[in-house]
Amino acid sequence: MAQVGHGGAHAVRRTGGARARGPARFAGIMLVLVGAFHVAVAVATVAADLFLVVLGSYVFGYDVATWGWLHLVLGALVAVAGAGLLTGGRWSRPAAPALAVLSAVAGFLFVPYQPLWSLLIIAGDVAVLWALTANRPADSP
């Protein structure tokens, strides 16, 4: 911690490693939740290995195992970024929004296969981006 002089009184300002407060805490919790959603989608996708889509009298089969592994890796990265925000890791402040955007894009591209899960992931990512980019007073972390 660093001490900063301000008009004779000493204010204590946290530097590095401070635990998350307010919007950063919310974003960290949401990122861990979104990471868990990605892992759930990954398990379901890898276990099913083949999605059947019925359109009229046609049946299409899609092998989505690659999507499952992508969701597994992305989910782990997103959850680690969320934990980093909660523990005050400096690396997580730029990594969290970047991973939230990547997660939202992956969710959007996966909508045809799992619409409900994809929309939950996208909504969580939007909440994270809002929490991390909303206007806050200059003295908040």
Summarised one tens digit per residue, pLDDT across range 43-101 is 888 877 666 555 556 555 566 788 888 999 999 999 999 999 999 889 999 999 999 99
Is residue 17 included in any domain, yes or no?
no
Give the confidence band of 39 by pLDDT, cuts at 50, 70, 90.
very high
Across the chain, what does the average pLDDT equal? 80
Instruction: Output the pLDDT for position 138.
Output: 56
Predicted TM-score (pTM) of this structure: 0.74
If one counts the domains in the chain, the total is 1
Query: Residue 19: helix, strand or coil by DSSP?
Result: coil
User: Residue 93: which domain range?
Assistant: 22-133
Q: How confident is the model at residue 45, as a pLDDT?
A: 82
Residue 35 burial (CB < 10 Å; 0-12/13-18/19+)?
buried
pLDDT at residue 8 is higher than 60: no
Q: Is residue 15 part of a domain?
A: no
